[in-house]
Amino acid sequence: MYFDPGVKERREDFFNFNEELNTLIKELNNQSTRMIVIKGVRRTGKSSLIRVGLSMSGLPHVILDARKFEYFSVDTFYDMLASSLSKLLETRKSVSKYLKSVKGVSISGLTLEFSFRGSWTFTEVLEALNKWGEECGEPIVLAFDEAQDFLIFPRFDSLLAHVYDYLSYVKLVLAGSEVGLLDRLLGVKKVKAPLSGRPYTTIVMKRLSREEAIEFLREGFRQAGVTINEVFLEDAVSVFDGVIGWLTYYGYQALRVGHEEAITKTLEEGSKLVQEELENFLSIRPQARTRYLTILKLLTTPLTWSEVKAGLSAKLKKTISDKQLTHYLRELVNYGFVEKINSEYVIADPVLKSAARGLRI
C-alpha cells in the first residue's frame, strides 16, 4: 500500500521511480561498478529505493542506517551491525563460518553478537564478508543510509576507500540527504580526500511532478478502496508539492481523519520534525542562530544572493560581509535545507517553508 508510512521494502508498495530503480539494479549487477551514490533532499524516497532495489536484486546485503538511533555512537553502531548481520544469516547461512572467525563475534542460531568492539572489528567483519563473497562468486552489498552521518567515526572515509580498493566482493551503496556533507565524504572537491577520484554511479531522487503527485495520491486512495474528490488531491499537492514522504503521510492521515484535518496534521507533525532537524543544525552554530533563521524566513520565496544580502542587512540593521553570507548559504545548501536553482536560493521542503513563515525571530 502506497500510504503505509514506514520505509517501503516491496516493489508493489513503491510508486514509480522506474528509471532510478532500474539504474540501481543494473549497477548492482554490473561487476565493474564499485560504488553507487543515492542523493536527494529529505523524504524523497532514498531509503525505500535502497530497500526495494536490494530486495529485487536478490543480492546478499547489509544495510546500516544512521537515522535508526536517536543517539549514534560506537555502541549503537555495533548493535545495528549485529542486527543487520543477523538478518543476513537468515538467508545466507554459509556466511556464519566466516563471521565466526572474527574476534569478538559470537553466533547462536541466527543471532549474531559482538562481545568485543575493537577498532579493527568492523574492518575484520568486512574482510570476512569479502572472503565469503569471493568463495560464493557473488558480491555482497554494503549500504550506508545517511552515509554522511557516519563521518563521526574517525577515518570512516579511509575505511570506505579501503573497501573500494581492496575488497572487490563488497559493493558500496551510499545514500544521503545532506548533499554537501556527502560530497565531502566522497572527496568531490578535495583531491587529497581518501575517496577522491574513484568513479561511482549517482542516482538522484527527484520530487514528483504535479501530475505524478496527483497520480500517486489517486492510486493510494484507490488501493485503500476510497473514492476521493479530485479537488482534494490538487489541494494536497499544492501544499506538499511533489515530496513523496509528505504525500504519503497526508494520505495515511486522510484515510483516518479526512482531507482537511489530514492537511493540518501533516503540517503540524511535519513542522515538529523539520524544526527538530533544523535545531540539530543550529545547536552547533549558536552564534549565528538569528542569522540563519532570518535567512530561512527570507527564503520562503526564491531570492538571489544579492537579494538575500539586502534583506538580511535590513532585518538585522547591520551589514553582513559577503564572505559570511556565502558561508551561511553554502551551509544551508550543504545540509539540504536550501536549494540553489539557477541563481536563486529557496527552502527545499514545503513543510519547512511553511514553518519558516511562522518563525518569530
Ligand X SMILES: Nc1ncnc2c1ncn2[C@@H]1O[C@H](COP(=O)(O)OP(=O)(O)OP(=O)(O)O)[C@@H](O)[C@H]1O
List of residues contacting ligand X (CB under 6 A): 2, 5-8, 14-15, 17, 40, 42-48, 67, 177, 244-245, 248
d(CA 285, CA 233) in angstroms, rounded, equals 39
- Judged by CB, which is closer to ligand X: 248, or 334? 248
The three-state secondary structure class of 85 is: helix
Residue pair 281/289 in contact (Cβ under 8 Å)? The answer is no
Smallest gap from residue 331 Cβ to ligand X (A): 18
CA of residue 212 relative to chain centroid, distance: 21
- Judged by CB, which is closer to ligand X: 84, or 248? 248
Smallest gap from residue 6 Cβ to ligand X (A): 6
Binding of Mg ion at residue 130 (CB under 5 A)?
no
Smallest gap from residue 32 Cβ to Mg ion (A): 27
Pairing of strands 140-145, 111-114: unpaired
Smallest gap from residue 30 Cβ to ligand X (A): 23
d(CA 214, CA 227) in angstroms, rounded, equals 14
Radius of gyration for the chain, computed over Cα atoms and rounded to the nearest angstrom: 22
Q: Which position among 23, 44, 47, 266 is part of the footprint of Mg ion (CB under 5 A)?
A: 47
- Judged by CB, which is closer to ligand X: 67, or 357? 67
d(CA 28, CA 255) in angstroms, rounded, equals 37
Only one of the segments 40-48, 163-171, 312-320, 344-352 lies at the binding site for Mg ion (rule: CB under 5 A); that segment is: 40-48
CA of residue 327 relative to chain centroid, distance: 23
- Judged by CB, which is closer to ligand X: 121, or 177? 177
Smallest gap from residue 210 Cβ to ligand X (A): 16
Residue pair 338/345 in contact (Cβ under 8 Å)? The answer is yes
Site for Mg ion, rule CB under 5 A = 47
